[in-house]
Structure 1
Amino acid sequence: MKIVGLVSGGKDSCYNLMKCLQNGHQIICLANLYPPSSNSTDEIDSYMYQSVAYMGVQLYSEACELPLYRREIKGKPMNVDADYKPTDDDEVEDLYELLADVRLKHPDVEGVSVGAILSSYQKKRVENVCDRLNMKVLCYLWGMDQSKLLDEIINSQIDAIVVKVAALGLNSKHISQSLVDVCFIVHLPIFLTSLF
């Protein structure tokens, strides 16, 4: 199946693209939503989108020699109900517009690669958008054990660099380090638990 890869600049969206290739899909293009230029930081207050590494997404496009479609996030989380219904000015509608634009330019694209792992909130909203556009969601990482996923990503030889910390045991001194270098810290509580 021909697909578009939603990329945030993070390891999960990149790794899910690798899983799509392993499963025989053809990546036609990449797509990214980025923070408004009026935002004072690289990160937005969003339930849906990770934006901290958005500036590196162009490098994905260049390295993969794939077209990149981008759209500024204009909406806010207006509808935070468990089941999403299209809502004016909601940030989810920015994703709809982005993928609708991709479909206009590439009508043969049938699927969307998404790096969501545990957030039902995100997954349901991507599914809603894809249902409206008659596209299939490819979310190979969904529900994976975090420790197993981390090991898989490291073994895949993705050279992931820490650009934000939001995990117990990590702090700002770990920013700019390789995921491999901080892996033991993240795995330490799991390792210690398995000893007892």
Structure 2
Amino acid sequence: MKLAALFSGGKDSTFAVYDSLRKGHEVTSLISVVSKNPESYMFHYPNIRYTQHQAQSMGLNHVFQDTKGEKEKELEDLKKAVSGVKGIEGIIAGGLASKYQYNRIKGVTDSLGLECVVPYWEIDSEEYWRLILQAGFKVMIVGVACEGLDKEWLGRVIDGDA
């Protein structure tokens, strides 16, 4: 299937692209939605401008779409970005557990007649990490924003001992 990927540059969207390629899909483009709202429930914003370099290193087309990050209106911006990528049959998303994100992305793909490919949706988190590490991914903590992780985690590469 010919696909484009919603791409934040983080481990989940990157691993979803990797998985799709491994399964024989053709990934043509990465779509990064840049929210002006740091509290956006839909789109990650830290370091998203670096996704252009990731797309370039993968030899893929890259689409930036700005959004003010206003609830529900940001979906119109997502739809605009996806609509701009011609010839695709579906969209890859790296979502794991957010029903809020999944339902909205699925709504956009359904409205455009596209498949919504979310390869690790609702996977057990330990199983997910096992798959990432077995695939040889090196995941580095570049930001902390939750309880249990402090600045001591910054720069740490996650491995089987983390």
TM over 0.5: yes
Equivalent in the alignment of 1:179: 158
Letter of the aligned partner of 2:80 in structure 1? E
1:55-76 Cα offsets, whole Å, 9 max, x none, are 2201211111111011112241
Question: For residues 137 and 144 of structure 2, what CA distance do their matches in structure 1 show?
Answer: 18
Q: Which residue of the other structure, out of 138, 155, 164, is the alignment partner of 2:143?
A: 164
Task: Note if 1:155 corresponds to 2:134.
Answer: yes
Q: Which residue of the other structure, out of 77, 83, 104, is the alignment partner of 1:94?
A: 77
Q: 5+ residue gaps in structure 1?
A: 80-89, 186-196
Q: Judging changes above 3 Å, is the alpha-carbon distance between structure 1 residues 130 and 7 closer, same or farther for their aligned structure 2 residues? A: same
Equivalent in the alignment of 2:61: 67
Equivalent in the alignment of 1:17: 17
User: Contact conserved, 2:35 with 2:43, CA < 8 A, in 1?
Assistant: no
User: Contact conserved, 1:52 with 1:163, CA < 8 A, in 2?
Assistant: no
1:136 CA drift (Å): 0.3
Range with greater deviation from structure 2 (120-129 or 17-26): 17-26
1:35 CA drift (Å): 2.9
Structure with greater strand percent: 2
User: Contact conserved, 1:53 with 1:163, CA < 8 A, in 2?
Assistant: no
User: Contact conserved, 2:90 with 2:116, CA < 8 A, in 1?
Assistant: yes
Larger radius of gyration: 1
1:168 CA drift (Å): 4.6
3-state SS in 2 of match to 1:95: helix
Question: For residues 173 and 9 of structure 1, what CA distance do their matches in structure 2 show?
Answer: 22
1:8 CA drift (Å): 0.3
Task: Note if 1:56 corresponds to 2:46.
Answer: no
3-state SS in 1 of match to 2:156: coil
User: Contact conserved, 1:112 with 1:135, CA < 8 A, in 2?
Assistant: yes
Question: For residues 128 and 80 of structure 2, what CA distance do their matches in structure 1 show?
Answer: 31
Question: For residues 145 and 158 of structure 1, what CA distance do their matches in structure 2 show?
Answer: 18
Q: Which residue of the other structure, out of 29, 39, 42, is the alignment partner of 1:45?
A: 39
Equivalent in the alignment of 1:144: 123
Cα RMSD for the two superposed structures: 1.6
State the identity %: 27
Question: For residues 53 and 134 of structure 2, what CA distance do their matches in structure 1 show?
Answer: 22
Equivalent in the alignment of 2:101: 122
